[in-house]
Amino acid sequence: MRILFICNSFGKGWAATAHLATELAEGLVERGYEVEVWARGGSREHMVESCGRRIAVYGDNRKGSCGPKNRVLSELRLLWNFCLRALGTSSHFDSVVCMDSPRFASMAAGILKRKTGAKTLAWVMDLAFEQVVQRSGRSLVCLAAMGLTMLQIWTLSKMDRVITLGDCMASLLKKRGLHENKITVIGTWAEDHWASLSVNIHAARKRFNLHGGFIIMYAGFAADWHDFDSICEAISETEDDSRFQWVFAGSGPGIDKIRELSAVSNWPNVVILDRVDRSDLPSFLSCADLHLVSLRSSMLGTCVPSKLYPLMALSKPAVFVGPAECQTARDLVNAGAGEVVADSHELVEVIYRLAADSAKLKELGENANRAFRQKHCANVAITQWYETLMG
């Protein structure tokens, strides 16, 4: 069987979507599929080391790039080129998997479906236009975003399957008019071998210059849709307690807010670092006693934070700051790997309680690792994809 991936970027780097697409493609190649990729950039192939086969990657090398400063026009140009490639290709694909960046990549998949009868699967990782609707209030921007949301739902309705990351996202898509028979829920994952890694935490803390007694960490991109208001309030409530060290590594508006408030308030227990290279992530993440994952309640269903699953692999407990209905919160609670809180006061209460109970922290970490191996590792998720493609 021959499968085509249509996506913004491909390869194992910082971008989570590109990394997941690459791991899925590798997993399918290992199961005997032939995989081709259309993506941005000039890479021509990707080696699957475990089986010695290569994935052909065709980058978008056409002249006239709009450049990184104009993201909207850049995405439109990429979409246009994908559609032109779909119209002009003589290749036959049994299945086409299109990701939701660039937006409306399902249009290119639809062209291939009409030309060759290929099975089409849209992989929805976030609903960006819905996020704009939730953030914009009553405005022309909100109306435009609502219109684009309806257009996106219409294009998704033409796909054979729509893969979402969680039940909360599936519910929102159904609310917007997508038929439930179209939707399959397959969550994100972390690499299987992370569950067996042994990290010297003392050495790791020394390496990253982290010397707090009880380390609370947020690592990764911190967007507008993550709840950093509650996190900032919790830092303020604990700023005089020298037992705690709050560590933030990554980028985005949330971490920018932490940096600004820390400078103004002179928080003594806050450490802010740049993003950590992916190869160093297991040791860095292992430095923390407790991790934070967050989502604003208004963003429920528009995305599903994926930061939890690498933490589960590393046996790290977490606190989810946000709505209990989110798939990430459900997975955390079902695994017995941490707690869900609604505001800063609940967050502070959990931190104090767990900081005083090392046995409970160990139990949560063990539960996390067990659940990861059973439900959230790459092998489980890629097997679900395999069954969906075969169905």
- In whole angstroms, give the CA distance from residue 9 to residue 96: 16
Reported as a pLDDT band with limits 50, 70 and 90, residue 63 is very low
Backbone φ, ψ for residue 208 (5° rounding): -95, 10
Q: What is the DSSP string of 75-123?
A: HHHHHHHHHHHHHH-----SEEEEESSSTTTHHHHHHHHHHH--EEEEE
Counting every residue, how long is the chain?
Answer: 391
Q: Each residue of 81-137: pLDDT tens digit?
A: 999 999 999 999 999 999 988 899 999 999 999 999 999 999 999 999 999 988 887
> Across the strands, what pairs with 215?
245
Which residue, chain included where needed, has tokens 């046995």? Answer: 359
Backbone φ, ψ for residue 179 (5° rounding): -70, 135
Q: Each residue of 18-61: pLDDT tens digit?
A: 899 999 999 999 999 999 999 987 667 898 988 889 999 998 75
Nearest to 7 by CA among 112, 115, 117, 125: 125
pLDDT at 65: 45
- In whole angstroms, give the CA distance from residue 172 to residue 178: 9
The two structure tokens encoding residue 318: 């977490």
Nearest to 217 by CA among 153, 281, 271, 141: 271
Q: State the first-to-last Cα distance of the chain, in angstroms, to the nearest integer.
A: 13
Q: Which fold has domain 192-376?
A: Rossmann fold (3.40.50)
Torsion of CA 217, 358, 214, 246, to 10 degrees: 30
Q: Which fold has domain 2-190+378-390?
A: Rossmann fold (3.40.50)
Residues 6+ apart with CB under 8 A from 331: 187, 308, 309, 371, 375, 376
Segments of the chain assigned to CATH 3.40.50.2000: 2-190+378-390, 192-376
Q: Each residue of 190-237: pLDDT tens digit?
A: 999 999 999 999 999 999 999 878 999 999 999 989 999 999 999 999
Residues 6+ apart with CB under 8 A from 365: 315, 316, 317, 337
Phi/psi region, residue 227 (left: phi>0; alpha: psi -120 to 50; beta: rest), is: beta
pTM for this entry:
0.92
